[in-house]
Amino acid sequence: MSAITEKIHELKKKRNAVILAHNYQRGDVQDIADFTGDSLGLSRQAAKTKADIIVFCGVHFMAETASILCPDKMVLLPDEHAGCPMANMITLRELRIKKKEHPNARVVCYVNSTAAIKAESDICCTSSNAMKIVSSIPRDQEILFIPDKSLGGYVSSRLNRPMILWEGYCPTHHRILAEYIIKLKSEYPGAKVVVHPECTPDVIALADHVASTTGIARYCKETDAGEFIIGTETGILHRLRKENPEKKFYAITQLADCSNMKLISLEKVLWSLEDLVYQIKVPDDIASKARVAIQKMLDLSE
């Protein structure tokens, strides 16, 4: 064990803390975590834990979700600048204007959004349950899907259901291009193409399987194929290789690297535990409204 890893373990015990790491984190950060997973899975771990402190290795909206689900715990984000450009593509003011234009629309909000935006929405969804959540709303009910036009467009076409889509997107997933897949497929014709629904429609059209990071990990474990071409943030390859040492994984492009996710390092995790920074606390009035939208999703997806 390296000196820094040892120090993190010691301090974690002393402070009664738990370390959660998103599937897109650096490999060494995933390796020191108590749990790795997607944002919702991690928030559920947070809600269950007996620890007093949660160190959330991910981006700001994920730490906020943990804080909303466990208001009595201290939630730490090791780098306060780890934000999500997609979550920042919608503001409260813009959302309120859009809601006025579509007063009858139900607002379905992807979990990649700020607490204030969730608080202004009817129900949340993740990339694992988006189809189920949208299907739970009567077909004649208008839906405004925010903020990801790619996930929204994917759900809309799969369910053959028109929705008003917000013009947000993930810059990292949009760097994954169809032409890279075609080239890789010619090199590895037996490989399965697995992509995240935050990708563009032409990329999704080339995939054998479209899923959230949890779904991608499950598919790669359970499918017989020995080679996979992966279209999501490159951090997940660490987990896929660790869980399936006998299989081969190829990233569609190394450009699918989220610089915000990669802001978290082992050093920052240690400083976070030493100095109890940066504390993420959603104000009670916003948290209680956002919790309603998250709870509606949890009730439907259990």
Instruction: Give contact residues for ligand CIZ (rule: CB under 6 A).
Output: 22-23, 38-40, 111-112, 126-127, 196, 212-214
Taking the complex as a whole, the smallest distance from the CB of residue 135 to ligand CIZ amounts, in Å, to 19
3-state secondary structure of 254: coil
Q: Which is nearer to ligand CIZ, 45 or 112 (CB)?
A: 112
The answer for residues whose C-beta is within 8 angstroms of residue 160's C-beta and 6 or more apart is none
The backbone torsions φ and ψ at residue 65, rounded to the nearest 5 degrees and listed phi first, read: -60, -40
Alpha-carbon distances, residue 211 vs 105, 195, 217, 218 (angstroms): 27, 6, 9, 9
Taking the complex as a whole, the smallest distance from the CB of residue 203 to ligand CIZ amounts, in Å, to 15
Q: Which is nearer to ligand CIZ, 276 or 300 (CB)?
A: 300
When CB distances are held under 5 to 8 angstroms depending on the partner's kind, the choice from ligand SF4, ligand CIZ, none that residue 213 binds is ligand CIZ
- Do 100 and 91 form a contact (C-beta atoms < 8 A)? no
Residue nearest to ligand CIZ (CB): 38
Taking the complex as a whole, the smallest distance from the CB of residue 299 to ligand SF4 amounts, in Å, to 25
Q: Which is nearer to ligand CIZ, 196 or 268 (CB)?
A: 196
- Do 27 and 238 form a contact (C-beta atoms < 8 A)? yes
In whole angstroms, give the CA distance from residue 189 to residue 16: 49
- Strand runs labelled E in the chain: 17-22, 35-37, 53-57, 74-76, 106-110, 123-125, 143-146, 164-165, 192-195, 209-210, 227-231, 248-251
Q: Which residues bind ligand SF4 (CB under 6 A)?
A: 24, 59, 84-86, 112, 170-173, 233, 258, 260-261
Taking the complex as a whole, the smallest distance from the CB of residue 179 to ligand CIZ amounts, in Å, to 24
Backbone region of residue 196 per phi and psi (left: phi > 0; alpha: psi in -120 to 50; beta: other values): beta
Q: Which is nearer to ligand CIZ, 83 or 99 (CB)?
A: 83
Q: Which is nearer to ligand SF4, 12 or 60 (CB)?
A: 60
Closest to 293 (Cα-Cα) out of 105, 127, 116: 116
When CB distances are held under 5 to 8 angstroms depending on the partner's kind, the choice from ligand CIZ, ligand SF4, none that residue 170 binds is ligand SF4
3-state secondary structure of 209: strand
Taking the complex as a whole, the smallest distance from the CB of residue 99 to ligand SF4 amounts, in Å, to 23
Taking the complex as a whole, the smallest distance from the CB of residue 252 to ligand CIZ amounts, in Å, to 16
- Do 250 and 228 form a contact (C-beta atoms < 8 A)? yes
Taking the complex as a whole, the smallest distance from the CB of residue 75 to ligand SF4 amounts, in Å, to 17
When CB distances are held under 5 to 8 angstroms depending on the partner's kind, the choice from ligand CIZ, ligand SF4, none that residue 261 binds is ligand SF4
When CB distances are held under 5 to 8 angstroms depending on the partner's kind, the choice from ligand CIZ, ligand SF4, none that residue 59 binds is ligand SF4
Q: Are strands 227-231 and 35-37 parallel, antiparallel or unpaired?
A: unpaired
Q: Which is nearer to ligand CIZ, 151 or 270 (CB)?
A: 151
